[in-house]
Amino acid sequence: ENGADIAVIYVGDEAPALEVCREIEAMGRRAKAYFCDVRDEKAVEETVKAVSRDLGKADILVNNAGVTRDGLMLTMKDEDYDLVLDINLKGAFHMIRACYRDFMRKRYGKIINISSIAGLVGNIGQVNYAASKAGLIGLSKSVAKELGSRGVCCNCIAPGFIETAMTKDIKEDNPLLQQVPMKKMGKPEDVA
């Protein structure tokens, strides 16, 4: 709506990414979907090069990749801990680093990292997720200090409970929602 061409990066099912591209194109903008596992540094670098070639160098980077593998710490498997940290935190690190030089050279850029309220207050059964989202807050603050003098802005958004595929199983009577002042989940549009 504000005139940006959009690169949609996905892993898994391509259909939702293509649907988002169609919606963007219906608004008169260019959009293209790219498969990329953000855990893979080389894949990230190649994807950023492909985006630059197809749509031009990025002006805005939104790091929104995220997964959960919930469970109590006592029984949490190392691979579930590592997977969540690798996607939620290290994936953002890879994406920022792949765009870093271009942003620095242009002396312009916006980096928006999507964290979570869990990164601020923690959550039972989410030591991996809360740690990844808290780490994303620290990463954002450090990147902001590194790149701010170059005209690059880095911010972090820490939404509460938002209606997404990740929260689809949370019921209205969930005690966590009782902590939300409005007693209901927000919508993606509220975050935007």
- Token digits for 75? 């029984």
Contact 103, 150 (CB under 8 A): yes
Closest of 149, 54, 34, 155 to residue 96, by C-alpha: 155
Write phi, then psi, for 123 (nearest 5 degrees).
Answer: -160, 140
Helices (H), 41-90: 41-55, 78-85
Distance in angstroms (rounded) separating the CA atoms of residues 10 and 35: 5
In the chain, the amino acid numbered 96 is: I
Closest of 169, 160, 168, 153 to residue 190, by C-alpha: 160
Q: What are the catalytic residues?
A: 129
